[in-house]
Amino acid sequence: MSEHPMGRLPDTDTLQGNVLSPARRGVLTTTLSTKAVHSVDFYAAPNAAETVRLDLMAKPTGVISLRALGDLQSGSTIVDFGAGNSSWLGERIQEKGVRYIGLDTRPDAVESLAASGLEAHAIQADGRADLPSNCSDKIHARFVLSWLDPGARREALEEMLRLIKTDGHLVIIDYDWDAIEGPPELMTAVKATTDIMRDFGFDPQYGKKLCTDIPRIVENITRESGGDISYYPPTAEPPFEGTLQDALEIIRQTAESVKSGLLRAEKYTEIVKIEEAFTALEIRAIQDPEAPVRLADMVVQTIDVKKRPEQQQIMVPPEIFPFQEGDYAVLGQLPRGRGMIVSAESNSAIASLRELQGYSYAKSGLVDRPTRPGEWALSEEIDPPEQVDRSRYFTVIDRNGRPHSCIRYIMPDPNIGAQSLRAFRSLDNATQTALLQQYQDEEIVETSAFAKDYQEGNLLDVAIAAIGAALEVQQRGYRCTLMELRKAQLSNIEHVFGKDNFTVLCDSVTISENGVNEDEEYILLQANPETFLATMLENVNAKLAADPRSHSSRSGFFATLRQVLETHLHD
């Protein structure tokens, strides 16, 4: 990584379906973000309220985008990644004789741009656009990356780097909601909104992280191909500063947009919270219309990229072969003949799942890419051979035998006991002592992986594979399960498996090993294998009972989990 002559990178703290149907590779929407897979297309479907809000903000945000893009040379090409429905920016760019190409995952956004006379293309199910490599002089991505988990964020940047020319220019813009200022009612409404949106995978402070996160990811992608990046210091400015009365329409449309997303995700309690907070704000606006307000800052990170055009910038996934007879033991059948829950038994099957796990971790930014192409299994330093020997691997395979996920549990070394489990060693001495007073060494086990196949897997596959692992852990008589979980994933795991299934033993852990992303924060959890599946079923039933359309959700996420759980709990 090189320093741009205009400034140094500042030293700042890092602030981050139907089961077995062929799923999509990290589509760049909140729907497939692993942090937000339970939120059914929050902004992935047409949202009239969001369109109105974006129209209101099109000019003030567009002016900042144009300033960030700098000189626009006639005849050059700009790709707008995640362009949305608004045509304001594209029209201003086209007026300068520049070819504008808008990209989005949503068909309605593509159609809206095309209707305005702009060139627009869809980002396809594999995360790519139907455009040739090295076709764009500059790429603009505004308010996109804050909605993506680390894996999908990396995929988005990989695609941008595929599209950008040998000497290209990236302009990444995202919000910093911490910059919002105003009366107490506004701050209460903002907190209510951000708390809810975080559960859908949104990071309202991602703008603060651009200056560290984006250069790190881009440098990691370009390192193997001999590429280099240079960067400008980030800038931040508000698209709106004024009175509460003047800001109220923007704020009101933001609330309506969030409510529309919550309605599609059937989060009715959260809708009430939003309405209550914004009602109080509107009352304050009547009482004090001239109260000063500053809305979220737009943080701009611009990066110059130099790459070798002959090099591929995309991470090539491992080739996962279908399991054959003798590769696995069947733990259960899935509804409607869609596949099986299995444990990997042969060396080749275990090797495949280790590749899937390592690739998933690298795509998510948890570990570095391996130095040897084509070998995705975690390094021996991260995952020693003796630990692999103490591991059991579980997956969901489709009707063709292809695995779509990986769940793993690690048994304690009989000679060392619980101290052989990394999750146990990460606990403080007092917690270790308390656990050993309650359980024997041989009764404690560690669960890990929770990895999906980025080409064809989804969270449902992972959840069902976890059911298989839980069945075996329970049958083997383990009484305490420990796990190190990425802290950002806690709400998602609790949503699927139930909050009552987990006890937090330590709420902040980092892993200091070569090849592991030390910026990632983990949380240490404990679960009870004896009650895990029954508690999970209670959670699933509660989710379905809260859904007024549950009778029509026979093939939905929780309906499928209920069928699997009921089948195996009653066997």
Q: Looking at residue 58, what is its pLDDT?
A: 74
Sign of CA dihedral 64, 294, 282, 143: positive
Rounded Cα–Cα distance for residues 328 and 403 (Å): 11
Are the C-beta atoms of 62 and 83 separated by less than 8 Å?
no
Are the C-beta atoms of 176 and 296 separated by less than 8 Å?
yes
Rounded Cα–Cα distance for residues 234 and 213 (Å): 12
Rounded Cα–Cα distance for residues 387 and 364 (Å): 22
Structure tokens at 54: 């974006």
One-character DSSP codes across 365-424: TSBPPPSSTT--SPPTTTS-HHHHHTEEEEEEE-TT--B-EEEEEEPPBTTTBGGGSHHH
Nearest to 334 by CA among 463, 476, 448: 463
Q: Looking at residue 31, what is its pLDDT?
A: 28
Nearest to 149 by CA among 509, 489, 532, 530: 489
The pTM for the full model equals 0.54
Question: What phi and psi, each to the nearest 5 degrees, are found at residue 11?
Answer: -80, 105
The full 3-state SS of 181-247, as one line of letters, equals: ECCHHHHHHHHHHHHHHHCCCCCCCHHHHHHHHHHHHHHHHHHCCCCEEEECCCEEECCCEEEHHHH
Residue count of the chain, please give it: 571
Q: Which CATH architecture has domain 2-13+25-181+203-239+297-306?
A: 3-Layer(aba) Sandwich (3.40)
Going by their DSSP bridges, the two strands 2-3 and 522-527 should be labelled as: unpaired
Radius of gyration of the chain (CA): 24
The full 3-state SS of 476-523, as one line of letters, equals: CCCCEEEEEEEHHHHHHHHHHHCHHHCEEEEEEECCCCCCECCCCCEE
Q: Looking at residue 225, what is its pLDDT?
A: 57
Contacting residues for 337 by C-beta, under 8 A, at least 6 apart:
399
Three-class DSSP category at 311: coil
pLDDT by residue, tens only, the chain of 571 residues? 333 332 322 222 222 222 222 222 222 222 223 333 333 345 555 556 556 656 666 788 899 999 999 999 999 999 999 998 889 999 999 999 999 999 998 898 899 999 999 999 999 877 789 899 889 999 999 999 998 888 788 889 989 988 998 888 999 999 999 999 999 999 999 998 888 888 777 888 899 888 888 888 887 777 655 567 788 888 998 988 999 999 988 888 888 878 887 887 777 888 898 899 999 999 999 999 999 999 999 999 999 887 665 444 456 778 888 999 899 999 988 887 788 999 999 999 999 999 999 888 887 778 877 766 567 888 888 899 999 999 999 999 988 899 989 999 999 999 999 999 999 999 999 999 999 999 999 999 999 988 877 667 778 889 999 999 999 999 999 999 999 988 878 877 888 899 999 999 998 887 777 778 777 788 999 999 999 999 999 999 998 887 655 444 444 788 888 989 988 776 5
Structure tokens at 165: 């020319």
Nearest to 561 by CA among 497, 499, 501: 497
Are the C-beta atoms of 393 and 401 separated by less than 8 Å?
no
End-to-end CA distance of the chain: 57
Residue type present at position 525:
L
Q: Looking at residue 10, what is its pLDDT?
A: 27
CATH 3.30.70.3270 for domain 328-569: no
Give 7's DSSP letter.
Answer: B
What are the structural domain ranges in the chain?
Answer: 2-13+25-181+203-239+297-306, 328-569
Structure tokens at 392: 């059991």
Q: Looking at residue 17, what is its pLDDT?
A: 26
Going by their DSSP bridges, the two strands 228-231 and 480-486 should be labelled as: unpaired
Going from the C-alpha of 356 to that of each of 66, 89, 465, the distances in angstroms are 41, 40, 14
Rounded Cα–Cα distance for residues 113 and 88 (Å): 10
Contacting residues for 191 by C-beta, under 8 A, at least 6 apart:
none
Rounded Cα–Cα distance for residues 165 and 4 (Å): 19
Q: Looking at residue 517, what is its pLDDT?
A: 77
Q: Looking at residue 52, what is its pLDDT?
A: 62
Q: Looking at residue 306, what is its pLDDT?
A: 79
